[in-house]
Structure 1
Amino acid sequence: MKRRKLHIIVFVIAVLGLFIVQYQYLKIGLNLAKVQFNKNMGTAGQAIKKDLSEENELTFLIGKSLTKDDTYFNLSLDSVQSATGHFLNDFLIDRLAVNGIAADFSYQLFSRDSTDYLSSPVVFQKGDKLNSYPIALEGYLPGLMGKGLVLELQFKDINTYFLFQLNGLTIPSLIFIFAIIVVVIWVLRSFYWQGKLITTTNEFINNLTHELKTPVFSIGLATKILEDDLDGKHKPIVAIIRQQVERLKVHIDKVLELGSMENNKKVLVFEKVDFRPILQDLCDEFHTLGALEPLQFTYELEAGEYPLFAAVSHLENTIINLFENAKKYSENPIIHLRAKKVKNHLVISITDNGIGLSKKDQQRIFNKYYRVTQGNLHTVKGYGLGLHYVKHVVHSHKGKIKVESEIGSGTTISLLIPFRKNGKRI
């Protein structure tokens, strides 16, 4: 639960951070857009000022409107002034567009004594937030009127215009942020759903294995009672039943211990021990069993103590698991164990002449429930738990596992377990 809250907090902080960064970039973009707009307006203003300083068709028409002289036209003065306003508006649109400005605007042409002469066909309402850019005219028109004239351009909602200009950056950024949020939520949801499923599965397996222990115990007890009253002919059969019950008991205990390890429960009890005599006994027992089967087993143990801080029973089970695997995956098993001291580690290597492992299988054999297959067939019985258990035990001893193998040339699995020093692992 704490982990889940931590993940959610980190996710929220990350999303807020993304939005803050995006907001800062947006502010920088707006400031740059304003700077660029003012620069473009300066260039456009100079062009407008230059064109209106000379006598031409447009300035001639403006001059007639300013002086209210309709003798040159067959139209009324109001019509001349209206036409002049539209022509001037089209001229300004063109000059602004040439300099990269496409914002809505209005204009006023007035004298320095505040007399209005011409207004834009588009008039903004009072109270609108406007940005004004006055252009002091020179040349023909001020000379004609005998006083200074100012052409003032006004822009409404200039920030909205800037945002529109930045849409090519802001919209994709928001889309990507939204996509990231969706993906992260989906991943977290899948992660917690799988975690819940794994927890439920482990609980089911643990409950099932606990329930199996009772009938296994009862069968073991019954066979022990039967064994005392049977004749020599039936005793081997009962012995086989007891042997299989013991095997089933070992498998049940292995599943329970593995589930406890995965739930981080402390089921391993470590103690200071010289592991050499324990390993010697394991090798002698396996050698004796090998004499009863088509199996060749040899071993060599380097002299001296093997001082470990170990969970002895689990380390024993680990080596037995490796023995059993070497035997299962070899047709006429030839198995060799070698133990040696390398720097601060005990290295136990178990080599067989089995079918070998591909590079792909070498990376997966320690995964839970994974079993090596030949084609689409599982030719060897098992549950894919043995090597997963081995990995957990070795890692709990702060050790490492190395696999060397080639298809058809056998496999060597080496366990590297650190020695203890002053009662602790080195």
Structure 2
Amino acid sequence: MKKSTIWFLTIIMVFTFIGLIYVQFLYMNSMVRMRNDQFEENVRRALYEVTGALEQDEARHFLEENLAQVENFTPYKKRDNSEGVAMRFTTPSGLIGRFTLEGSPDQVLNMSKPGEGSAIDNATTSSLRGQYLYQKGLLDEVILNILSRSSSRPITERADSTLVRSYLRYELDNNGLNIPFEFAVTNRNHAIIYRTDGFPSVSSSQLVNNPEIYSQALFPNDQANRLNYLTVYFPTKRTYIFDSIKFMIPSMVFTLIMLLIFLYAIMTAFKQKKVNEMKTDFINNMTHELKTPISSISLAGQMLADPTVRKSDIMMKHVTDVINDDTKRLRFLVETVLQMSLYNERQSAMNITEVDANRAIEGINRTFKLKVEKYGGKISTSLAAENAMISVDEMHFTNVIFNLLDNAVKYRRKDSPIILKVSTSNPTPNKLKIQVSDTGIGIRREDQKKIFDRFFRVSTGNRHDVKGFGLGLAYVKKMVNDFHGEISVESEIGKGTTFTILLPVIKSNSNSDNN
């Protein structure tokens, strides 16, 4: 699949997922807003009902306290034919009084419908009419008394906390709000007069601005400077509101998971495409490398088989050297291909033995010295590790060091001879540190994270000025991991590179050779 096609599909799918998530978010936001509006409407309705009930209770209290008991109710008729009602009453406070109402009973109240009064005694009818007028007048007096005396009572008496709580619970339940609440009574400046234990201790401004606190005027007919407020706090309001969208959360989570899986699949596709490109580079380079020794060996064979070619000792030695060199080169190429097969196995087949790293590095140094000196360079060792005994496969361990040294030679600077240094030390009693340093061209910072990947080469493309296939450092990384160790790199362009290997030691070695 082309890279442009992958990018096109990626953009389409990303926008699709973003659109889906956005629509879900809008739906959830709309549901939360609707639930919040419904909650506020129910709370305000409940508070209105509570304050109304408290007003009715206060009115009932004053009526029971002020309505007098009628002891005598006597209608009379004067000589001028005018009628009236005389009443004797006693108030709950013990005062005795007399009340006289003059006027025609028909003018006071018509108690019967036309044609229906014949069965009612005139005296009784007059008595009822008079009693009605008396009660009406007395009620007006009581109402005036309520208005004049009620606002002077302490709010703690007018709105008892126990009564307020019971009314609140009843009205909230009636409005479908069966959730915990706390309340307080405040004055017109929002200073708290009394509150329940769970009501938050906040300032006046916080009471006004807190979205979880609602207020309603108590006894709104009081004078403005004596108004008090019932303030209710709902500690679980957020939970109540967001309960309405709980079923949407799994949908959102699954959508995000699908988006992450898709992005991971796209990243894997790009990575696989890059690996395929590097494999193509590897095949191209390997094909080129195989052609050269095969052609040389074929040409040498033809020379040996051609009877017309004079076969002198010098010529035979030259042809033999060519065949030997190209055979070694072919062997190296085959080993390189075999290294690639290691990545298809979970664990490489290794012969683990106890190896003295100092002695192994000394042997590698002697072998590699001629190659370094061939390019005018120099190699030195500093084997300072007192405990250099490690548990590794000696052949693979040797290949690891050889690969690092060989890379140093390949990527040397042309303007100055290469200087290599191999050192060992014990940073901790149970660790061996091996460092391979060079004065080569260095590695760019962005490439340092990729140099241990298969087929990756700092010199990309079909270049042949630096021989290699992008497998050497990947092989080194795998072997070090199989040895239960770690490898890291530090490099600076134009100054050189240092590879550091940390391996676990297996025992103290006081007889190690130190150079």
Superposed displacement of residue 317, structure 1:
0.9
Superposed displacement of residue 365, structure 1:
2.1
What are the Cα deviations for residues 23-57 of structure 1, in whole angstroms up to 9, with x where unaligned? xxxx999999887564343246579999xxxxxxx
* Residue 468 (structure 2) pairs with residue 363 (structure 1): no
Greater RCO, CA 8 A, separation 6+: 2
- Aligned counterparts, 1:382-397, within 5 A: 382-397=468-483
Q: Distance in 2 between matches of 1:175 and 1:369?
A: 42
Against the structure 1 CA distance between its residues 415 and 236, is the aligned structure 2 distance closer, same or farther, given a 3 Å change threshold? farther
Against the structure 1 CA distance between its residues 257 and 216, is the aligned structure 2 distance closer, same or farther, given a 3 Å change threshold? farther
Are the aligned partners of 2:444 and 2:491 in contact in 1 as well (CA < 8 Å)? yes
Against the structure 1 CA distance between its residues 188 and 393, is the aligned structure 2 distance closer, same or farther, given a 3 Å change threshold? same
Corresponding residue of 2:397: 315
Are the aligned partners of 2:297 and 2:322 in contact in 1 as well (CA < 8 Å)? no
Against the structure 1 CA distance between its residues 318 and 175, is the aligned structure 2 distance closer, same or farther, given a 3 Å change threshold? same
- Aligned counterparts, 1:14-413, within 5 A: 38-43=42-47, 173=249, 176-177=252-253, 179-187=255-263, 189-190=265-266, 231=312, 232-302=314-384, 306-330=388-412, 331=414, 332-342=417-427, 343-373=429-459, 380-413=466-499
Q: Distance in 2 between matches of 1:362 and 1:40?
A: 66
Are the aligned partners of 1:335 and 1:352 in contact in 2 as well (CA < 8 Å)? yes
Superposed displacement of residue 171, structure 1:
9.5
Are the aligned partners of 2:281 and 2:462 in contact in 1 as well (CA < 8 Å)? no
Could you tell me which runs of 5 or more consecutive residues in structure 2 were left unpaired when the two chains were aligned.
Answer: 1-30, 55-174, 176-240, 306-310, 509-515
Secondary structure of the structure 2 residue equivalent to 1:420: coil
Q: Distance in 1 between matches of 2:265 and 2:488?
A: 35
Superposed displacement of residue 188, structure 1:
5.7
Corresponding residue of 1:138: none
Q: Distance in 1 between matches of 2:344 and 2:257?
A: 31
Tell me whether 290-299 or 386-395 shows the greater mean CA deviation.
290-299
Are the aligned partners of 2:300 and 2:323 in contact in 1 as well (CA < 8 Å)? no
Superposed displacement of residue 201, structure 1:
10
Superposed displacement of residue 326, structure 1:
0.9
Are the aligned partners of 1:276 and 1:305 in contact in 2 as well (CA < 8 Å)? no
Could you tell me which runs of 5 or more consecutive residues in structure 1 were left unpaired when the two chains were aligned.
Answer: 1-26, 51-102, 104-164
Q: Distance in 2 between matches of 1:182 and 1:305?
A: 52
Amino acid at match of 2:407: N
Superposed displacement of residue 392, structure 1:
1.1
Against the structure 1 CA distance between its residues 193 and 263, is the aligned structure 2 distance closer, same or farther, given a 3 Å change threshold? farther
Amino acid at match of 2:431: H
Are the aligned partners of 2:430 and 2:504 in contact in 1 as well (CA < 8 Å)? yes
Superposed displacement of residue 409, structure 1:
1.5
Superposed displacement of residue 173, structure 1:
4.8
**TM-score, with length taken from structure 2:** 0.43
Are the aligned partners of 2:404 and 2:436 in contact in 1 as well (CA < 8 Å)? yes
Q: Give identity over the alignment, percent.
A: 24
Larger Cα Rg: Structure 1 or Structure 2? 2
Superposed displacement of residue 410, structure 1:
1.6
Superposed displacement of residue 283, structure 1:
0.7
Against the structure 1 CA distance between its residues 268 and 217, is the aligned structure 2 distance closer, same or farther, given a 3 Å change threshold? farther
Amino acid at match of 1:401: I
Against the structure 1 CA distance between its residues 265 and 35, is the aligned structure 2 distance closer, same or farther, given a 3 Å change threshold? same
Secondary structure of the structure 1 residue equivalent to 2:404: helix
What are the Cα deviations for residues 172-204 of structure 1, in whole angstroms up to 9, with x where unaligned? 857733531431442465477689989999999
Superposed displacement of residue 285, structure 1:
1.0
Against the structure 1 CA distance between its residues 48 and 379, is the aligned structure 2 distance closer, same or farther, given a 3 Å change threshold? farther
* Residue 496 (structure 2) pairs with residue 415 (structure 1): no
Secondary structure of the structure 1 residue equivalent to 2:407: helix
Superposed displacement of residue 316, structure 1:
0.7
Superposed displacement of residue 235, structure 1:
3.2
Q: How many residues align?
A: 286
Q: Distance in 1 between matches of 2:430 and 2:403?
A: 25
Q: Distance in 2 between matches of 1:301 and 1:348?
A: 9
Q: Distance in 2 between matches of 1:354 and 1:166?
A: 63
Secondary structure of the structure 1 residue equivalent to 2:315: coil
Cα RMSD for the two superposed structures: 5.4
Amino acid at match of 1:358: R
